[in-house]
Structure 1
Amino acid sequence: MTSALPRLHRLNEGNSENPPLNDRPQLGPELTPEQLKTLNQKFDQAKATELIEWGAKTFGNRLVMSTSFGIQSAVMLGLVTEVIPDIPVIWVDTGYLPAETYRFAEQLTQRLSLNLKVYQSPLSPARMEALYGRLWEEGTVEAFNQYDAIRKVEPMNRALAELGARAWLTGLRSQQTEHRRTLDRIDEQAGRYKLLPILHWHSKDVYDYLKAHDLPYHPFFEQGYVSVGDWHSSRPLTADDLDARSTRFNGLKQECGIHIPQTPEEAESLNSSSL
């Protein structure tokens, strides 16, 4: 197994066209809806690396990326770090991930020399369970939403704020959920821009990239998982499942909340709660 990815153009090596990461400009004025529409038309069919390069040039050191170290996470980690090797990589560790996910995260962190930023809820798993119970066992969307707000959404919001993120790269694909089919490659959420380089990729595109670059799927892929999150609410795909996300959250919902727009009141509630 080769230990190095094929060399792509690295924006932070510096030249007259592409200055080093910390010297690249930050986004000035807010993009108007018309400007955002024009950019999405421009990048709708662009290569993933072209959108990543644009993000690096536009947002400079205010650009971050997120990862879940899920089934296909090596794709985005490979694509982005080939262009911006030192980009901050946000990982929200819920404290309930499978052991295989922690080992997979360590493997990719070492392999790709990730600038990993790990964020967790201020409430430990034990304290959360003492106060609210094992929320995932209640069998309601409301309980899962509370769980996700505590363990995922609050840490992610805090990470973006503390890192001064103006924009973030994420590996959402339109094939995955109904909500994701409504997104553009440059989206806006809670005052930040979200860049989706592989939004239009299919599963075969993912497979081809991983194979070409000798990068692994999550270990659970071989066990029939097509999506993996916390150990208590992820399972392998079966013939009865309507889609891949049916294997998450006991089939009650498709999104954990990180990629769902929040109202100002919801965001303030998270920031000012007992978390």
Structure 2
Amino acid sequence: MMLTTADKRVAFRKLHESGCFIIPNPFDVGSAKALQHLGFKALASTSAGFAWTMGKPDNRVTVDDVCNHLTAICSAVDIPVNADFEDGFAHEPDKVGANVARAVKTGVAGLSIEDYTGDAAKPLFDRALAVERIKAARKAIDADSSGVLLTGRCEAFLRGVKDMNLVIDRLTAYAEAGADCLYAPGISTREEISAVVKAVHPRPVNLLVGAAGSLTEIGALGVRRISIGGSLARMAWAGFMKASKEMAEKGTFSEFANGYPGGELNKMFQ
């Protein structure tokens, strides 16, 4: 029996109450179903992974594209889905709120709003505006008592602003503005992670992980949720590009021997 959207939202909040869990990032319906099959308790969309499936670079898809994508994934799996909702696809708080209201209707159990402007010369929204954007997202989520979990993201480290004081100041402000979970992609040292966890306690922290660390080690630092961004999408593209380059450059097909068995995929999707 498929869980209702309300059930998924309750389950998602419960996951954030204790322990540490991995929330992997599928990039389409098939990869979402595969991750559910492997036993993961929740999923998160990836802006980059999804954009690449559309032949676009990250941060170049539309709110319509993303809402259609989220609707498809949420209806395909029986576990909660968190949306990478980028910058809310708007700068002004009221427009962020309107877009968040659309995202809530897709069936997501959570969504994140980041403070990246899209402008490399001035990568972060002014603090006051960034806080108002989180407040607008919170208001939109609460308008129909949806129970969607809001994650506030500070993009400073990803955008070359490596200032821990700024990150902690913003994350604590986002928590006060209504963010349920806090996230600063790009932090990586034990000291940085521990400082963020301590600063926003008791609210949960999401950590973006590349290739280092383990669930046990990261959980011991007080992190509640581990996401991986576009890493699974990059792994899928790695196999695709390696085999395709072999054909294009050598006219040979040996990489196909490393493919995942088609029969196993058919069984998984039955």
Fold shared, TM-score > 0.5 on shorter chain: no
TM-score by length of 2: 0.31
Structure with the bigger RCO (C-alpha within 8 Å, sep 6+) is 1
TM-score by length of 1: 0.31
